[in-house]
Amino acid sequence: MVPGDWHGFFGLFTNVVLNVIVLTGLCLHVVNLPADIVYGRILPALGIALPFGNLYYAWLAWRLAKTERRDSITAMPYGHRCRTCLSSCF
């Protein structure tokens, strides 16, 4: 690990948390989806998809680093982006 890893991790974490909060608010108050759908289906699906997506991207980066024999490979972060939140709601 390098010093920037923790900075990147917490930056990504706060970005994803903020996007989930925005998505929840948009679904509940703008689109008027029922709370049981938002809290019972959408948020649990995000809770499953986000860790698996990040683990998959990390595995792809590890595999590429192993194939190319380099240690400067990084994984692209996987998460729900603000543009995706807005397009999902509208």
pLDDT at 49 over 70: yes
For residues 54 and 77, the answer to whether their CB atoms sit within 8 Å is yes
How far apart CA 46 and CA 57 sit, in angstroms, is: 16
Which residues are within 8 A (CB) of 54 and not within 5 positions of it... i.e. 6 or more apart? 75, 77, 78, 79
Q: Is the pLDDT of residue 3 over 80?
A: no
Determine the pLDDT at residue 44. Answer: 93
Mean pLDDT of the chain: 84
Block residue for tokens 């499953």 = 48
**The predicted structure's pLDDT at residue 82:** 67
Per residue in 57-73, pLDDT (tens digit) is: 889 989 999 999 988 88
